[in-house]
Structure 1
Amino acid sequence: MTKVDTGFAGQSFGSRALYRVIRTLACGFTQLYTRMSIEGREHLPATGGYVIAPVHRSYVDTPISACISRRRIRYMGKDSMWKFAGVGKLISALGAFPVSRGSVDREALMRCLAVLDAGEPLVLFPEGERKDGPAVQPLFDGAAYLASKSGVPIIPVGIAGSDRVMPRGAKFVFPRKVKIVIGAPLRVEVAENGRASRNSIKATTAQLHVEIQRLYDEAQSKIS
């Protein structure tokens, strides 16, 4: 049997406890409210960092992504969210880390690499901002680049139904069915010196695009 990830390495007891309580409540509600079902958890590495690369059709894709693993999953957040100490402590425990708006590209890169090097899973939407429609849009190379620099796998994820749970412009969250399909890990091919060429990163991004589209189509077919 394939081991599924359950660890909390590198986190304080208080942080782990807070995460478990909030995650249990949030994911329990989300799964019941959306009748969520998840396939492919066996593809998640048991230990170490990895990049979770989901399709992105709704703001609720972020909390939905938190339900795929019991480990604390990391996300980027605007540094203004840490203005108040109590709020900052809470969202940090839930996996978010601050990035300054004025230096997003460089700071985000450094922080994402630090998260992966620390052995933690990181969510990165390779389409960038949320998109509309059944076709996965052209992907940025960020997921492949980070994976190549940290030597971690990329986990493609298809999420179907989130655009009906919270459509673009909606002010409410609706009780619609959500289906998640997690794909097999992808790795960036590296040279003997341990570095990935630009062509290798581009090739991995193209492969990732194909996989996310396949998983998204599969997930969509299972919620009708």
Structure 2
Amino acid sequence: MNLYRVGRFLCAVFLRIFYRVKVLGKENIPKDGGVLLCSNHIHLLDPPLVGSFIKRQVCYMAKAELFETPILKHIIRRLGAFPIRRGMSDRQALRTGLNLLKEGNMVGIFPEGTRSKTQELGKGLAGVGFFALRSNAKVVPCAIIGTYKIFSRVTLVYGSPIDMNPLRENKASAEEATEKIMEGIQELLNEYQ
């Protein structure tokens, strides 16, 4: 049986029991084609949370340090993750992400690049805008709301895809595209918090 599907099922059960997860907007996830799934980042459990309640596999861009642990690196690679070296321009990670999107896969990314300690949305990094502009993928904002306290509620909201065509046509910068995506995430946080 597929490791990703088994992991997704087990994570969904765990998250529903211990964090009473409420999922909104699953209908906003395109059924096929390249999708860039962009979420705020508040906890270590965010990647399994974001991917556990949708049918499509999410290939995550993950910090390179996770790929240095022998057992973990084999597991996360089999789950579709690929490494990025933070704090520098990682051309290999950009190429890998772009190729996955162009091949019609779903790539999950946390534009802030790290977890927020305050639950407030931080500044997004330009890489997410690069993917959005260069891939023609659908860009779906996602918001995680809650504190991950055991038996408290965590809400996961998938927003409507953001229309990136005006930015592509106007040859906007990666920073401008990132700003548009972050606004989409912030709107979800404002609406559902």
TM class by shorter chain equals 0.7 to 0.9
Which residue number corresponds to residue 132 of structure 1? 117
Q: What's the TM-score, normalizing by structure 2?
A: 0.84
Which of residues 126, 130, 144 in structure 2 aligns to 1:159?
Answer: 144
- Whole-angstrom CA distance in 2 between matches of 1:118 and 1:36: 31
Q: Give SS of 1:142's match.
A: helix
Matched, 1:219 2:189: no
1:81 alignment partner AA: F
- Whole-angstrom CA distance in 1 between matches of 2:34 and 2:96: 13
- Whole-angstrom CA distance in 2 between matches of 1:133 and 1:82: 28
When structure 1 is superposed on structure 2, of 45-54 and 65-74 the one drifting more is 65-74
Q: Which has the higher contact order (CA 8 A, sep 6+)?
A: 2
Q: Give SS of 1:38's match.
A: strand
Which of residues 64, 67, 73 in structure 1 aligns to 2:49?
Answer: 64
Matched, 1:94 2:68: no
Which residue number corresponds to residue 210 of structure 1? 183
Which residue number corresponds to residue 7 of structure 1? none
- Whole-angstrom CA distance in 2 between matches of 1:101 and 1:128: 8
Deviation of the 1:216 alpha carbon: 1.3
Matched, 1:189 2:165: yes
- Bigger-Rg structure (1/2): 1
Deviation of the 1:155 alpha carbon: 0.5
- Whole-angstrom CA distance in 2 between matches of 1:33 and 1:106: 39
- Whole-angstrom CA distance in 2 between matches of 1:128 and 1:154: 17
Deviations 1:120-163 (A, max 9, x none): 111111122112335422222322210221111110111101xx
Matched, 1:175 2:151: yes
1:67 alignment partner AA: S
Matched, 1:23 2:5: no
Q: What's the TM-score, normalizing by structure 1?
A: 0.74
Instruction: Mark the runs of 5 or more structure 2 residues left unpaired by the alignment.
Output: none
Which residue number corresponds to residue 105 of structure 2? 120
Matched residue count:
192
Deviation of the 1:183 alpha carbon: 0.8
Q: Give SS of 2:90's match.
A: helix
